[in-house]
Amino acid sequence: MTKFDKLNSEELEQEIQNILNKYNEKDSIYKLSEAYDKGADSKIIEKELKRLLTPYKEGSIGLAQINPIAGDIEYNAKKVVKYINHAQNIGLDVVVFPELVLMGYPIEDTIDRHPIIVEENIKWLKEIAKITTSTTAMVGFVEPRKYDNLTGKKYYNAVAILSDGKIQGIVRKSLLPTYSEFNDYRYIEPSPVIGTQPAETLENFDSDKIQKSTKTSLINGKKYGISICEDCWNNKEFFNDTTLYSIDPIDELSKENPDVFLNCSASPTRAKKEQLKHNMLSFIAKRYSTPIVYVNQVGAIDNSSFDGSSRVFDKNGKLLARAKSFKEQFLIVNPHKNLGKIYPLTKGLEKTLTEAKVYTLEYEPDLERTYKTIIQGIKDYFKKTGFKRAVLGLSGGLDSTVCAVLLADALGAENVFGISMPSKITSKESKSDAEQLANNLKIHFTEASIKNMVEVTNNCLTSLFSEVEKKWDGRYKQSFTMDNIQARSRAMFLWGISNEFGSCLPIATSDKSELYMGYATINGDMSGGFAPIADVPKTKLFALARWMNSNREDKNAIPEAIILKKPGAELAIDPKTGKPLVAEDALMPYEFLDEVIWRIENKKEHYFDMLHSKFLYEQKNEVSQEQKAEWLDKFYRRMSTALYKWSILPPSVIVDSKSINKYDYKQPITSSRINYKGLPVEEIRNKIKEFI
210 touching a second copy, by CB under 8 A: no
Q: From the CB of 240, what's the least distance to a second copy, in Å? A: 8
Site for a second copy in 216-245 (CB under 8 A): 240-245
Q: Is 66 in the site for a second copy (CB under 8 A)?
A: no
Residue 8 φ/ψ, nearest 5 degrees = -85, 175
218 within 8 A of 235, measured Cβ to Cβ:
no
Which CB atom, from 620 or from 666, has the smaller least distance to a second copy? 666
Q: Is 85 in the site for a second copy (CB under 8 A)?
A: yes
List 99, 181, 230, 274, catalytic entry? 99
Identify the residue among 50, 315, 431, 606 touching a second copy (CB under 8 A). Answer: 606
| Residue 393 beta carbon to a second copy: minimum distance, rounded to whole angstroms | 12
Name the DSSP class of 236. T
Q: Does 275 bind a second copy (CB under 8 A)?
A: no
**Smallest separation (angstroms) from a second copy to the CB of 349:** 26
Which of 31, 229, 514, 538 is the catalytic position? 229
The verdict on whether 229 is a catalytic residue reads yes
Based on the residue annotation, tell me whether 82 is a catalytic residue of this protein: no
Integer CA distances (angstroms), 301 to 186, 296, 298, 307, 332, in order: 18, 14, 9, 12, 26
Backbone CA torsion sign across 664, 667, 668, 669? negative
- Other CB atoms closer than 10 Å to residue 686's CB: what's the count? 12
Shortest spacing between CB 284 and a second copy, in angstroms = 18
**Residues 120-149 close enough to bind a second copy by CB under 8 A:** 120, 123-124, 127-128, 130-131, 147-149
Three-state DSSP state, 447: strand
453: contact with a second copy by CB under 8 A: yes
Q: Which residue in 21, 204, 452, 625 binds a second copy (CB under 8 A)?
A: 452
- CB of residue 417 to a second copy, shortest distance in Å: 6
Task: Say if residues 527 and 391 touch (Cβ distance below 8 Å).
Answer: no
Catalytic-role residue among 79, 154, 173, 379: 173
Strands ordered across the beta sheet of 329-333: 196-198, 166-172, 155-163, 136-144, 94-96, 61-65, 329-333
| Piece in contact with a second copy (CB under 8 A), picked from 183-191, 328-336, 360-368, 511-519 | 183-191
| Contact (Cβ atoms closer than 8 angstroms) between residue 26 and residue 60 | no
Q: Which residues contact residue 659 at a Cβ distance below 8 angstroms, ignoring those fewer than 6 apart?
A: 512, 534, 535, 601, 665
CA distance 234 to 230: 7
Q: How far is the CB of 474 from a second copy (least distance, A)?
A: 4
* Binding track, positions 307-346, relative to a second copy; x by CB under 8 A: ----------------------------------------
Decide if residue 649 touches a second copy (CB under 8 A).
Answer: yes
Catalytic annotation on 264? no
Nearer to a second copy, 88 or 549 (CB): 88
Q: What angle do CA 76, 81, 86 make, to 5 degrees?
A: 130
The nearest distance, CB 458 to a second copy, in angstroms, is 9
Residues 478-517: x where in contact with a second copy by CB under 8 A, - otherwise, as a string: -xxx--xx--xx-xxx-xxx-xxxxxx-------------
Rounded distance, CA 445 to CA 439, Å? 8
Q: How far apart, in whole angstroms, are the C-alpha atoms of residue 190 and residue 185? A: 8
Q: Which of 21, 24, 463, 625 binds a second copy (CB under 8 A)?
A: 463
CA 667 vs. chain centroid, Å, equals 21
Q: Which residues are catalytic?
A: 99, 173, 229
